[in-house]
Amino acid sequence: MPAAAEAQQCKRCHAQTSAHILRSTPHCVGCYDHYIRSKCVKRMESYKIKSENPPITLLLALSFGASSTTLLHLLDSQIRAQKHRIRYRLKILHVDERILDPSLPASESLEEVKRRFPQTGGYLSARLEDVYDFAAEETGLERDGEDGGGKEEKLKTLLQRLPSPTSREDLAAVLRTRLIVALARREGCSGILWGDTTTRLADKVLASAAKGRGAQLPFEIGDGPGPFGITYYRPLRDVFKKELVTYISEIVTPPLLPLCVGFSSTPKHSAAAATSGKNITVGELMTQYFESMEAQYPSTVSNVVRMGDRLKLPGRGEEEDSCAMCGLLMDKGGNGLTLGAQEVVEGGERRKVCYGCMRATHGASAELSWPVLS
């Protein structure tokens, strides 16, 4: 029990001894659990998902981190409580990204999650390089190109040609999103559930702006219609990550922490200990910054998210172009800049790319064969 909460009465129920300080208020274990659950339930209710016959299907993107695993746990409880008034069913998807980092969780970890939540929904797994399969389906081309080899080798070659760790992180995230959306479509899902917390959304705001993707923030942090005809939901957007770390390790019984094999309290690249910034990505810097910021200045983290929420997409005209790489609306932010022509060449055909993708690929060591084209 934290010293600050020791021997204090819970300020919620006024009946139990407090176990943790939550939002500057002592909470017992039961009230802490109720607080986290109520945040998720209220946000899900705000989406006004109606009961239909058959119920709609939502895809939950599971990374085995603290946030997405907690979201699965909370939705499992909600689904079991629906009984005869079922509003939605779940598909749980894990994307194996060990091609980027061998230390990342393998899809085999999904078996442990299945045993914990056997009735929650259907479970799916895919590898990041499977995005090449969907590229072939959409274009009718195998897209072997000059690289040859299998899809794993193609993706490795693509990433190696990018100019920096930040570029690789950025475009790997683009491919991950495109793959998740493609799988959601294939499974007949009408929406995708992301485990983004307030902390995660705040680091997305600044990281996206730094990478030239500020125009895409409404899709990166908002709830509502996504760019590919599928709705995005973020039920944990009102909870801080530090609150979920306490929740998975000390509140839930049995603890969820053993299932969170993708969670680590120690960053892979520490900004404080680094002698050079070459191996630290913009995303890692922002994550470390806001995870330290939320401990002392949580209101500042919330304000960053509120600032990002004010950004709205412009009305889309019938003739508006989409980026050939990320598939999002062209922001025209590269006009007049000298990073290079706002286009890529694919099969002799020139296709336009947005400013963020142009930034990420500028300085590549060779021509890129992109697996997804809009």
Q: How far apart are the first and last CA of the chain?
A: 53
In this prediction, residue 260 carries a pLDDT of 93
Asked if residue 15 has pLDDT above 80, the reply is: yes
Q: In the numeric block, which tokens belong to residue 223?
A: 């709830």
Residue 213: alpha-carbon gap to chain centroid: 15
Measure the CA–CA gap between 302 and 199, rounded to whole angstroms: 8
φ and ψ of 26, to 5 deg: -65, 130
Asked if residue 199 has pLDDT above 80, the reply is: yes
Q: In the numeric block, which tokens belong to residue 111?
A: 């078996």
Q: What is the mean pLDDT of the chain?
A: 85
3-class DSSP assignment, residue 235: coil
| pTM > 0.85: yes or no | yes
3-class DSSP assignment, residue 237: coil
**Quick one: average pLDDT of 162-187?**
95
DSSP string of 335-358, one letter each residue: TT-SS--SEEEETTEEEE--HHHH
Nearest of 346, 338, 352, 353 to residue 367 by alpha carbon: 346
Asked if residue 138 has pLDDT above 80, the reply is: no
Report domain extents, the chain. Answer: 1-40, 47-319
Confidence of residue 340 (pLDDT cuts 50, 70, 90): very low
Name the DSSP class of 108. G
Name the class of domain 47-319: alpha beta
Q: Which amino acid is at 278?
A: K
| 130-135 own/partner pairs: CB under 8 Å, 24+ apart | 130/179, 131/155, 131/175, 131/178, 131/179, 131/182, 131/371, 131/372, 132/371, 134/178, 134/179, 134/182, 134/372, 135/371, 135/372, 135/373
Q: Which run of H or E residues covers position 133?
A: helix 131-139
- Packed helices 298-309 and 282-296: angle between N→C axes, nearest 10 degrees: 130
> By percentage, how much of the chain surpasses pLDDT 70?
83
Residues 66-121: tens digit of each pLDDT = 999 999 999 999 988 876 777 899 999 999 999 998 888 887 889 999 999 999 99
Q: Sort strands 349-352 and 343-346 into parallel, antiparallel or unpaired.
A: antiparallel
Name the DSSP class of 12. T
Asked if residue 324 has pLDDT above 50, the reply is: yes
Residues 271-321: tens digit of each pLDDT = 555 545 667 899 999 999 999 999 899 999 999 999 999 988 766 555 567
In DSSP terms, 95 is beta-bridged to 126
Q: Which amino acid is at 232?
A: Y
In DSSP terms, 61 is beta-bridged to 93
Nearest of 122, 30, 112 to residue 79 by alpha carbon: 122
3-class DSSP assignment, residue 305: helix
Nearest of 313, 168, 308 to residue 227 by alpha carbon: 313
Q: In the numeric block, which tokens belong to residue 69?
A: 């695993």
In this prediction, residue 141 carries a pLDDT of 44
Rg (CA), the chain: 21
Asked if residue 153 has pLDDT above 60, the reply is: yes
237 vs 142, residue with greater confidence: 237
**Quick one: average pLDDT of 243-267?**
91
Measure the CA–CA gap between 265 and 274, rounded to whole angstroms: 17
Measure the CA–CA gap between 133 and 250, rounded to whole angstroms: 42
Asked if residue 351 has pLDDT above 70, the reply is: no
Measure the CA–CA gap between 351 and 358, rounded to whole angstroms: 12
